Amino acid sequence: MSRKEQTRRNITKKENILKILRIFLIAALTIIIFYPPYLQGLYFEKHVLPTQIIVFTVFIIFLIYKWLKNDNTPFFKTPLEYVCLGFVIVYFISIFAAVHTRSAITEWLKYCMYFAVFYMISDLADNLKTKLLFLWTIIISAFGVSVIGLDAAFGGNFVRILNKFFNQLGVKGDLFFGLYSNNRIHSTLQYANALASYLMAVFFVTVGLLMFYNKWWQKAILGAISYILFLVFMLTQSRGAQLLFPVVLIILLIAAPKENKINTVTHVLILALPAGIISFIINVYFVSGDKISKAIILLICGLILNSLIGIVIKSLGGILQKINWKIYVALLAVVILAAGVVGNYVINSSVPVELSLMNSEENKTVSVSKEIALRPNKDYILRFEAESKMLDEKPYSFFVRIYSKNLRNILFGGSKLLYRQNIMKTNGLEQIDIPFSTQEDTRLINANFAIYYSGTSVTIKNASVIDAETGKTVKNIVLKNKYNLDEIISRFQNIFLQRSLVSRAIFYKDGLKIFLDYWLLGAGGGAWSYLYRQYQSYNYNSNQAHNYPLQLAIETGILGLINLACLVIIIIVFYFKYYKKGNSDNISAIIFTSIAALFMHSVIDFDFSESSILLLFWSLIALFNKELLERLLLEDFKMLSIKRKNKFVNANSKVTVYIGITFSIITLYFSSIFFVASTYAWKSFVSLQDNNIDTAINMMEKAIKFDRFNEKYVLGYNPIANRPDIKVGLINILFIKNDIYERAQKRGEQIPDLDLYQFQKQLSNVDLYIRKIEKKAKNNLFLTTDLANYYFNTGEIDKGLEFLDLAISYYPFEPSLWNAKIDVCCQLIATYFNNGDYKKAEEYLERCLNAIKEASEINKNNLNPFLFNAESVELLQKMKYLKDNWIIKESCDVNSIIHYSICDLDVNNDGIPDQWKSGNTELINVATDGNNLLITSFGRAFLYTNYPIIIEQGKTYQIEVKTKDDLQYLTYYIPGIMSKAMSFTREDGNYKAELLVENNPDSNGNQLRLYIESDCVIESIIVKEKNGI
């Protein structure tokens, strides 16, 4: 064989290898694009890590493929590629400033994965066939997600079949769950808002593809798919995404080719219209729970209709495109006006609402209410027509209550009563006017109409709010919508004053405070979940900031924000360069629009926390990037406009490939060891369940060896996502082993010396782990609480308290942490007291009671001040009693104390003692001056214990009330225990009573009431078991 022939064969062989590699890479990318949405959106690490391993492995093969191709072009060709790499760099930098190293590494690995997928698609989608393959993969994946979500809404028969199928393949439990709840479709992403964002983006891609194809069957298929996607999009009932849809449509109008703008928008609107209308009807069936068969028929009819629309819409769009744009402007104005008129009519169309207990034998409240946004500090009139009936004489036929809500009420519940009126039977249909005034902080008023007595009914209609000054109607109140759209309308009415939006505004405010403290390099991936509790304005739980730019800023600092700004600017600038050159087509415009839709929704929610959504985002950007590469000249990319020698370019490209392979191996290594460690940790949990303690220890030690960044494998992790009460770590297992040994020794069993030696060695290793973990505890609530528990269990109480105080500083608004501190202090007090070390006991006594002042101070910065829980108050009462009787401390029986007044216990700073509440604020008010309870009474009324008193049947209790002055009337009453209120006797200047508990008390405690009819100052209230001293 000649050298020339050999060379030719080698070239052919290499070309065949490259061809096989290319087919493999495209197939692998297709799978990577397809499956992530089905695994809970790749939100959880157990799904992310295997995906990273697959992606990094494929990327290494891709880089080898690129090296074999001997590609002489620069590795980075467009600014988008540099920006995508920029995210990898800023997340890598943030690792060194991270509040939690492992979370930062995990987030960095995610962005390495996004970059790998982005770059491979940008490189491999070099022909129309491959681009279409990737787009079809995105569409089919979203279609499957939608079908699963719809099936779940219809009962989940198909989902059950799928789960059984995957069970047979070895999957434990249900792979698909949480798909439909609260009348909203969540599907496999398990978050309705993220699903809505995802489907909106893919819906636009589907429309673009439908416009591309010419064959009728292709259009019919895509028309049907677009229907399912948009129907499920509507059934997510995501207000943010649905309000964003018209904005995205405007972006599409701007981005579409000049000669095809109307045609493109027409496609979107007409394809969305059937699904939009049918979704409203189907949703009513879902809410009512009946007529499901009709819903299925509607679903099928809409599917057929959209298929037909997909076939004929091109002709209609083409005709509409030829019409002069001025006509469209006029038509658009008419449509907007008509839509406004029709929408206003539909929203405000009401029917009389009837509340009836005519056929009921029991009294119960039946009501209807409506919230209306009104101006603060203004006079209004609630006007309505009512016809009420009564079968026999009742105190009233119906009643009206008007409540005021400020921002705090919107967030945390509650309201202030502005007006109440009980109304007797009307003489037929009567118009009723109720005047009321809003307060200075009023944001909403709630008009509530209700009946209570059996044999009564009322019909109400034409309700409205009138401006008392001008007499003009301010708001028409629709108590019942004519078209049964009350639930949908309520989701959008007063949207800027709804709890979700107000709370997110507070999230953003708190997040900005975090960013300002970590503005340069950020606090690393996952930083929000570790830091937000220190900065929160009230006690909320949210592991995400609900705003991607804000979360990025917190995690990567100003560098990440600059990189994100560059991404947005580059996409916009280069698209319009592309557009001006006349290169724009429907698919590129649609891809640009879909990218915009995903990004805009990420600003108001946390959908980018689901890796599948960011994978879609970067996949679309990659296709967009490939269009830029193909249609724009190098001169258009100013960053690459400098001249390069071919030799340099070739060498630079190869070096970059080598560097890429090296870094890919590093990322693959980290993903793999994290995944292997999680596998060993799970095996440890399984072994523990099987009572195989030594194997469990061995498996967990291997998990720690592979993943030294994960402190949870030492201190305890949650193997079951929805069971936070189950924790497994090396320490937990060793404690179990210690208990086994102790029980064995008590039974007189001899434990082999080798086993004891091995156990001591394991404990020593744990001690070394703990010392290392302590250094990582800063800003980490989870580590500090786990360390505190560890030291409490090992008898190092002072060190445990040190970490508990640290935990409280990281989560100051959490009552359970304060309870833990108080409980530990009380245990120490008891220990030192019983050992005769009164000085040490007194020291911890002061520390325990000082928690009241500390919590009160913390609550000054809390929008929703917390109260101590009942267990904390019970302990504080005993300690306060001990302190007040320290002189006779040796004879004090704190265990006899059931209630002991702590007049300075007002941790929520509302001026009302936390232990007591007013039974009727119009008749009696309770306040505190720090030393006494101040009672202001306007008639006979009662105050009652805010925390239940725990009493036992058959025991006798003493109740003692000490007042500054004599009272004309003072009685006590315990509902469920006493048949009536009983009087006190006056002894030694105090009011005293004894109570023998004859009835069985409530297991959760009972309420003690004190009835008073005059102003007084109460110095103390004591309830104790009679035998106590």
**pLDDT of the residue at 258:** 81
Are the C-beta atoms of residues 437 and 418 closer than 8 Å to each other? yes
**pLDDT of the residue at 898:** 94
323: pLDDT confidence band, cut at 50, 70 and 90? Answer: low
**pLDDT of the residue at 893:** 86
HSE-up of residue 908 (Cα within 13 Å, Cβ side): 17
Residue range 440-452: average pLDDT?
94
Which helix (H) or strand (E) segment is 562 a member of?
A: helix 548-580
* DSSP secondary structure of 514-530: HHHHSTTT-S-TTHHHH
3 state DSSP class of 372: strand
* Residue 479 reports pLDDT greater than 60: yes
Domains of the chain: 353-480 (2.60.120.260), 898-1025 (2.60.120.260)
Residue range 363-392: average pLDDT?
93
| Cβ neighbours for 18, distance < 8 A, ≥ 6 positions apart | 65, 68, 69
Give residue-wise pLDDT tens across range 497-520. Answer: 888 889 999 999 999 999 999 999
3 state DSSP class of 472: coil
328: pLDDT confidence band, cut at 50, 70 and 90? Answer: low
Nearest to 283 by CA among 349, 160, 291, 157: 291
726: pLDDT confidence band, cut at 50, 70 and 90? Answer: confident
| Cβ neighbours for 438, distance < 8 A, ≥ 6 positions apart | 374, 375, 376, 377, 378, 380, 404, 418, 445
Nearest to 423 by CA among 448, 388, 447: 388
Residue range 540-562: average pLDDT?
95
| Range with the poorest average pLDDT among 84-88, 515-519, 608-612, 830-834 | 830-834
* Residue 680 reports pLDDT greater than 80: yes
Give residue-wise pLDDT tens across range 43-64. Answer: 999 999 999 999 999 999 999 9
* Residue 97 reports pLDDT greater than 80: yes
Spatial separation of the C-alpha atoms in residues 62 and 79, rounded to whole Å: 21
| Range with the poorest average pLDDT among 262-266, 274-278, 778-782 | 262-266
**Please, what's the largest Cα pairwise distance for the chain?**
124
CA dihedral of 710, 714, 715, 721, whole degrees rounded to 10: 60
How far lies 185's CA from each of 38, 41, 236, in Å?
14, 14, 5
**pLDDT of the residue at 870:** 94
Residue range 705-734: average pLDDT?
85
pTM summary value: 0.91
Give residue-wise pLDDT tens across range 885-898. Answer: 988 877 788 899 99
643: pLDDT confidence band, cut at 50, 70 and 90? Answer: very low
* Residue 969 reports pLDDT greater than 80: yes
* Residue 1028 reports pLDDT greater than 50: no
340: pLDDT confidence band, cut at 50, 70 and 90? Answer: confident
CB atoms within 10 A of CB 35: 17
**pLDDT of the residue at 281:** 85
Of residues 248 and 890, which shows the higher confidence score?
Answer: 248
